[in-house]
Amino acid sequence: MKTIKYATAGFATVLALTAGGAPSASAEELIIGRSVSTTGMDPGFLREAATLVDNIFDTLILRDQDMQLVPGLAVSWTAIDDTTWEFELREGITFQNGEPFNAEAVKYTLDRVLDPDANAPTISYIRTVAGAEVVDEFTVRVTTAAPDPLLPTRMSRYPTYIVPPGYVEEVGQEEFARSPVGTGPYAMTDFAPDEHVVMEANADHWRGAPSIDTVTWRVIPEATARIAALLSGEVHLVESVPADLVDLVEGEDGVELVQVANGGLTIYFGLKMDEPPLDDARVRRALSLAVDRAAIAETLLRGFATPKGTQVGPFDFGYLDLAPPEQDLEQARALLAEAGYPDGFEIRMQGTRRYINGAEVSQAIVQQFGEIGVQVELEVPEWSVYIQQVPAGEQAPIYMLGWGSTQTLDADAAIYAIFRSGEPYSTVSIPEMDALLDESRQVIDPTAREAILHQIQELAAEQVPVITLHQEDSLYARRDNVVFDGRADARIPVYDITLQ
């Protein structure tokens, strides 16, 4: 067994492939083991990663393996003026139900997410969009409320996967989430919540028929069972390999670990700033100083994560290299005393198993908070329940989440949705932060925009709207006949996977 590492610096792929090994998958089927169940596959209303919908739907613009923007459903895009972009669409494409793809479908896709009555949890990503206008059947113009340098990037990720208007209107939003139809390389044929999703190749896809006929996404929440299924050949690729089970993979012939350095989410604890004592910046700073990030990354995460001082990733535009705060219990206690809590306080906190050793990380931080007198009631709810609670504001005052910008490689995706007040996943309320975030979406000049993004990160380091912990590496494991090397944008595009 050899490890494959995808080095995101420079987006160079370093491969160490083994020869031979008995294939356990046929050329017709790929079975992928997942740690979490899918709750719905409507790309405009996702409450989870877009891993599955990425294979059912297409966007106007794609990212290639080198993370460059390339034509998708749009063959070209042009900035008409500072707030208007024109997209020329591919002709002759149909959705998997036979409905034609055209400019009306693009407009409908954007309108349903932008509708204020829809309460789309994904609206943060395209909030700059003012509307879409159909020029002709295969030309659409997208206008923004102010100049938006990221508009092409926004058209390359959810919620801008294009949906069929007629079908959505016919079946309704709930049924569409259960029985999605797109233009993508795979069509969903079976969806059993908490069990599996089966997809069949779309032979008429505009890029050509996929090489793998069937892909089954199996839900195997327990990590040891997931690895055992890989080793036995029941599945051929698994997501979310826990750091403490890497040895099981590395010690076996016929399987390989795929590591994408800094390719995962940045894990943090959100803080409900409208509730005391978290409305006091001194308390928030004290909690942050209580955390020993280095020890957590080295021991619980076995070095498969990097302690962070900012939510922005090192390969994102606008990244500011801020050192993660070092644990300082004395200073933390002093800040609590200054804020009026010399003996600490009691508070409720939620963790999740969704991330690498997330429950164990949460428990370690509970103990570290205890060292400064903060007594925590820890809950670790099921992910399917938790991911509904968070955007509804029903989570605990302190709550674990992972966020990332891998699909845009820009600081905006890492910070706007969780720092801007009023956004579905934000519990932050800092007027100065709001003003800077809004300004960052209107400045075209890269140098000026970068400076604003740096200001945002400096302000976050001072005000501690969230407790940033670490950025995970993406860890997958695969049978050695599966050609998949990982991607910097965390996607699993089955269309690009081959079986030897």
Query: How confident is the model at residue 131, as a pLDDT?
Result: 96
Task: Say which CATH superfamily domain 266-472 falls into.
Answer: Dipeptide-binding Protein; Domain 3 (3.10.105.10)
Q: What angle do CA 71, 75, 81 make, to 5 degrees?
A: 100
Q: Is the pLDDT of residue 166 over 60?
A: yes
- Give the closest residue to 26 by CA, choosing from 393, 381, 482: 482
Q: Is the pLDDT of residue 15 over 50?
A: no
Q: Is the pLDDT of residue 426 over 60?
A: yes
* CA atoms within 13 A of residue 9's CA, in its CB half-sphere: 2
Q: By the 8 A CB rule, do 309 and 268 touch?
A: no
Contacts of 390 (CB under 8 A, 6+ apart): 270, 399, 401, 425
Q: By the 8 A CB rule, do 285 and 291 touch?
A: no
CATH architecture for residues 4-34+218-262+474-499 = 3-Layer(aba) Sandwich (3.40)
State the average pLDDT for the chain.
91
Query: How confident is the model at residue 340, as a pLDDT?
Result: 98
pLDDT tens digits, one per residue of 213-236: 999 999 999 999 999 999 999 999
Region 308-324: mean pLDDT is: 94
Return the higher-pLDDT residue of 23 and 15.
23
Query: How confident is the model at residue 10, as a pLDDT?
Result: 31
pLDDT tens digits, one per residue of 470-483: 999 989 999 999 99
Q: Is the pLDDT of residue 105 over 50?
A: yes
What is the pLDDT confidence band of residue 17, given thresholds at 50, 70 and 90?
very low
Return the higher-pLDDT residue of 261 and 106.
106
Query: How confident is the model at residue 483, as a pLDDT?
Result: 95
Query: How confident is the model at residue 280, as a pLDDT?
Result: 98
pLDDT tens digits, one per residue of 429-454: 999 999 999 999 888 889 999 999 99
The CB density around residue 37, as the number of other CB atoms within 10 Å, is 18
Query: How confident is the model at residue 452, as a pLDDT?
Result: 98
Q: What is the DSSP letter of 232?
A: H
Query: How confident is the model at residue 407, as a pLDDT?
Result: 65
Region 269-278: mean pLDDT is: 97
pLDDT tens digits, one per residue of 403-425: 987 667 889 989 999 999 999 99
Mean pLDDT is lowest, of 18-22, 114-118, 227-231, for: 18-22
What are the sequence ranges of the domains in the chain?
A: 4-34+218-262+474-499, 56-171, 266-472
Strand 29-34's sheet: what is its strand order?
12-14, 4-7, 255-260, 474-479, 237-238, 29-34, 214-219, 196-201, 186-192
- Residue 196, strand partner residues: 192, 218
Region 116-136: mean pLDDT is: 93
Query: How confident is the model at residue 190, as a pLDDT?
Result: 96
Query: How confident is the model at residue 278, as a pLDDT?
Result: 98
* DSSP result, 150-191: THHHHTTSTT-----HHHHHHH-HHHHHHS---SSSEEEEEE
Query: How confident is the model at residue 99, as a pLDDT?
Result: 98
Query: How confident is the model at residue 36, as a pLDDT?
Result: 84
Mean pLDDT is lowest, of 39-53, 227-241, 266-280, for: 39-53
Is residue 141 within a helix (H) or strand (E), and if so which, with residue range?
A: strand 139-144
Phi, psi of 434 (to 5 degrees): -60, -45
Query: How confident is the model at residue 326, as a pLDDT?
Result: 97
Query: How confident is the model at residue 47, as a pLDDT?
Result: 83
Query: How confident is the model at residue 406, as a pLDDT?
Result: 65
Contacts of 251 (CB under 8 A, 6+ apart): 1
Query: How confident is the model at residue 39, as a pLDDT?
Result: 84
Q: Is the pLDDT of residue 25 over 80?
A: no
Q: Which CATH class is domain 56-171?
A: alpha beta
Q: Is the pLDDT of residue 143 over 50?
A: yes
What is the pLDDT confidence band of residue 1, given thresholds at 50, 70 and 90?
very low
pLDDT tens digits, one per residue of 338-394: 999 999 999 999 999 888 889 999 999 999 999 999 999 999 999 889 989 999 999
Q: Is the pLDDT of residue 23 over 50?
A: no
